[in-house]
Amino acid sequence: MRQLQAHPLYRGGGELDHVEPMEPGASPAAERLAAIRRRIAAACDRAGRDSAAVILVGASKTQPAAALAPFVAAGLSVLGENRVQEALAKQRELAADHRLPRVEWHLIGPLQTNKARHALDLFSCVHSLDRPAIAAALDREAARRDAPLNAFVEVNLGEEPSKHGFAPAGLAAALRPLRDLAYLRIVGLMAIPPYTDAAAARPWFRRLRELRDDLGSRPEWSGWPGWLSMGMSDDFEAAIEEGATHVRIGTALFGPRRTP
């Protein structure tokens, strides 16, 4: 965390709390959250990393605000939503409960260019910057508000037609123009690897880290945070061992998704 907090682009809110023993009578949500935090901490230990350097993003798609509230009350401070409309409704509902701490909202699903304005209204970070047109739209909107926005570039590691993102081949050249955008700040790379089984995900995480390292070695990217948003319920421990700074966890935290 020290490294993240020290970075001027980091807006805070995602700090991982120290893992405390649970108090007797803790809510089921608090227990689930603590269990995930323990697993994050153990993966960090194995990799010799500071567990405070990994931000837990609760992937809250399809979970109603009422189901999220106890997690927020227990200290979950970052929620990741896939859709603008769904996020808006939940933000309103959670904000109306003044007892709850403030949440930082991240967009983790694809965005249409005509929804850039809404994205700026709702999110402090976009993990799913998947094409140049959306980068331009977000930068324009952020400039209009004079409010910078953090974004991860999504990489389609397996070059799967069903997935979004920049191709790994030629990534540096494709991203070069994005580095010059004044208001959209590229903070790292994100990926959803091809799914086979959890063990098979590790080489893909390593690949994303190598792409990050390659970018970081180029003069135009010197000084960028180079964060890695990778790892979900089934594979977040491997992702952390391979360098994830942000893990997006849904079902392991909140249970099965509620609707399709």
Ligand X SMILES: Cc1ncc(COP(=O)(O)O)c(C=O)c1O
Binding of residue 134 to ligand X (CB under 6 A): no
- Both structure tokens of 209: 């880290």
Binding of residue 233 to ligand X (CB under 6 A): yes
User: 59 and 250 in contact (C-beta within 8 Å)?
Assistant: yes
Residue 107 to residue 190: CA distance in whole angstroms: 12
Q: Environment class of residue 191 by beta-carbon count within 10 Å: exposed (0-12), middle (13-18) or buried (19+)?
A: buried
- Both structure tokens of 127: 């993990």
Q: Which stretch binds ligand X (CB under 6 A): 113-121, 134-142, 217-225, 243-251?
A: 243-251
- Both structure tokens of 79: 């929620």
Q: Which stretch binds ligand X (CB under 6 A): 48-56, 168-176, 212-220, 242-250?
A: 242-250
Q: Which stretch binds ligand X (CB under 6 A): 87-95, 210-218, 238-246, 247-255?
A: 247-255
Residue 71 to residue 33: CA distance in whole angstroms: 7
Tokens 């949500």 belong to: 29
Residue 51 to residue 198: CA distance in whole angstroms: 21
Minimum separation from the CB atom of position 176 to ligand X (A):
25
Residue 94 to residue 101: CA distance in whole angstroms: 9
Residue 74 to residue 81: CA distance in whole angstroms: 19
Binding of residue 191 to ligand X (CB under 6 A): no
Minimum separation from the CB atom of position 57 to ligand X (A):
8
Which of 59, 74, 94, 116 touches ligand X by CB under 6 A? 59
Q: Residues 69-98: x/- map of binding to ligand X (CB under 6 A)? A: -------------x----------------
Binding of residue 165 to ligand X (CB under 6 A): no
DSSP 108-153: -S---GGGHHHHHHH-SEEEEE-SHHHHHHHHHHHHHHT--EEEEE
Binding of residue 61 to ligand X (CB under 6 A): yes
Binding of residue 107 to ligand X (CB under 6 A): no
Q: Which stretch binds ligand X (CB under 6 A): 3-11, 141-149, 176-184, 250-258?
A: 250-258
Minimum separation from the CB atom of position 252 to ligand X (A):
6
Q: Minimal CB distance to ligand X: which residue?
A: 250
Q: Are strands 227-229 and 184-190 parallel, antiparallel or unpaired?
A: parallel
Tokens 């970075």 belong to: 7
Minimum separation from the CB atom of position 185 to ligand X (A):
20
Q: Which stretch binds ligand X (CB under 6 A): 91-99, 136-144, 166-174, 228-236?
A: 228-236
Minimum separation from the CB atom of position 109 to ligand X (A):
6
